[in-house]
Amino acid sequence: MRRLAALTVRSAADAERLRETLRLSKAEHARLLLYAGAEAALHGALAPLTEPDIRRLVALHGPVAAADAALVLEGEPRPVLTREAGGLLARFAAGEERVPVLPVTGAALVAAGAPPGRGLGQGLAAARHAWLTEGCPTDAAARQRLTALALAAAGGPARGTSDDTARSQSSHDN
């Protein structure tokens, strides 16, 4: 599958075409889609990739697709991986590092007082966006920070409302 991806996949459309032409299984198609996303993310990276970038890449596309895409693009002008990032990617590929998972769940938010419904999804989306932006931290401090953000966005019991949070964030952006 790695060779097929390396030789023929540059986009999700290529993966679709191959699924139809070769009658790939769902698992094979999914692997090609993940590879296409990982390759696009790596090839489009203008700055040298750091450890947070690799954690984000693995969280979004999986360790196999990320490692395959990095291997295929080795020797190209982009991407450039820092030594630490390359080591982390190798550890992910070898299964020595756990794939980062968003440390906030809908069940935890409901247990903390967030009302079920659309707001819960908005809270999780806000936490996921922040988590990805921060490089997928999974420590206790990140969990607390992301939970508070999700609760605020979901309209649950947190400091301020989601409107207050949005105003606070926009004032920090200025």
Q: pLDDT tens digit string along 112-148? A: 999 889 999 999 999 999 999 999 999 999 999 999 9
Domain spans, the chain: 2-93, 106-173
| Average pLDDT across the chain, whole number | 86
* pLDDT at site 121: 94
Hey, what are 107's tokens?
Answer: 């069940």
pLDDT at 47 over 70: yes
Q: pLDDT tens digit string along 105-114? A: 999 999 999 9
Higher-scoring residue by pLDDT: 157, 55? 55
Q: How far apart are CA 107 and CA 154, in angstroms?
A: 13
Greatest Cα pair distance in the chain: 54
